[in-house]
């Protein structure tokens, strides 16, 4: 153990922790949006297990993240899925175990939403983590990744709690969080190898435009869903 620690690349450890802190903001927002509909006594469990699931996905993806990113259409599908998830988190369907205020009302539903969203968002994130780990000895790389991700757990949990508190005081944050997921989704679509293979790396203006379109799509989709739900609720049809 002493020899293992003595040969550890602590610079890589520091880089992985910093990357986790920077990338943990997305996770904290998704977890907060998914768990805000849970009863107060279950929120801590939802945040914890959602975080554990998100970290587990990143560990599983590390080994083959670069290969996944090179597959055509994968980012397009993932980006569109993320737009859909963002809209559902802002205006969840009433028949899917969600409350009128948004977010899942069941612990399992919240955790599943977090894991699905993080699965989509993690492709780019794990590449950065894997890149930092490449500096270390091959025997240490996976250990470095796991260590760095474990360190990020309390940061993500704390961030999720903070976001839920802010949502309770300022509900507009829900829309901002959904728009952020749409922004990430639009960026993923613009970066797909099917597109870059034909046109090369797109100019920044087009990539930002695609991200903005993704955010706008989430807001418009969520607005349409909420209006439809309002029309179909029993109380809406009563005199």
pLDDT value of residue 212: 95
- Percent pLDDT > 70 in the chain is 66
Predicted pLDDT at 239: 42
Q: Could you read off the pLDDT of 67-83 as tens digits, one per residue?
A: 665 678 877 888 888 88
Radius of gyration in angstroms for the set of CA atoms belonging to the chain, rounded to a whole number = 19
If you count them, how many residues does the chain have?
239
CA 226 to chain centre: 22
Question: Once rounded to an integer, what is the mean pLDDT over residues 4-29?
Answer: 64
State residue 24's pLDDT score: 65
Query: How far is it, in rounded angstroms, from Cα 98 to Cα 34?
Result: 9
CA 51 to chain CA mean position, Å: 10
Residue 237: is its pLDDT beyond 50?
no
Tell me how far apart the alpha carbons of residues 33 and 20 are, in angstroms, rounded to a whole number.
20
Q: Give domain limits for the chain.
A: 2-232
Half-sphere exposure of 194 (CA within 13 A, CB side): 9
- CB neighbours of 61 closer than 8 A, spacing ≥ 6? 68, 122, 123, 126
Range scoring the smallest mean pLDDT among 110-119, 133-142, 166-175, 222-231: 133-142
**pLDDT tens, 142-179?**
677 677 667 777 777 788 888 888 888 888 888 988 89
More confident residue, 154 or 130: 154
pLDDT in tens, 83-109: 888 888 887 654 444 444 455 668 888
Q: Quick check: pTM over 0.75?
A: no
Residue 63 parent element (H or E): none
With cut-offs at 50, 70 and 90, classify the pLDDT of residue 191: confident
């Amino acid at each position: 153990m002493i020899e293992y620690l003595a040969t550890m690349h602590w610079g890589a450890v520091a880089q992985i922790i910093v990357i986790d802190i920077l990338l943990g903001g997305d996770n904290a927002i998704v977890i907060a949006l998914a768990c805000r509909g849970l009863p107060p006594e279950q929120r801590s469990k939802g945040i914890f297990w959602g975080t554990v699931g998100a970290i587990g996905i990143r560990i599983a993806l590390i080994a083959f993240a670069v290969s996944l990113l090179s597959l055509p259409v994968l980012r397009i599908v993932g980006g569109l899925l993320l737009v859909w998830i963002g809209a559902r988190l802002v205006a969840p369907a009433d028949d899917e175990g969600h409350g009128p205020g948004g977010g899942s009302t069941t612990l399992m539903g919240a955790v599943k939403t977090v894991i699905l969203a993080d699965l989509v968002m993690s492709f780019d994130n794990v590449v950065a983590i894997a890149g930092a780990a490449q500096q270390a000895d091959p025997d240490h790389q996976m250990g470095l990744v796991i260590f760095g991700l474990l360190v990020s757990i309390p940061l993500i949990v704390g961030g999720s709690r903070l976001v839920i508190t802010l949502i309770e005081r300022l509900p507009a944050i829900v829309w901002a969080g959904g728009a952020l997921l749409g922004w990430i989704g639009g960026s993923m679509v613009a970066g797909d190898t099917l597109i870059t293979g034909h046109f090369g790396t797109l100019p920044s203006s087009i990539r930002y435009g695609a991200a903005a379109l993704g955010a706008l799509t989430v807001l418009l989709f969520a607005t349409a869903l909420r209006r439809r739900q309002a029309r179909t609720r029993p109380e809406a049809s009563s005199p």
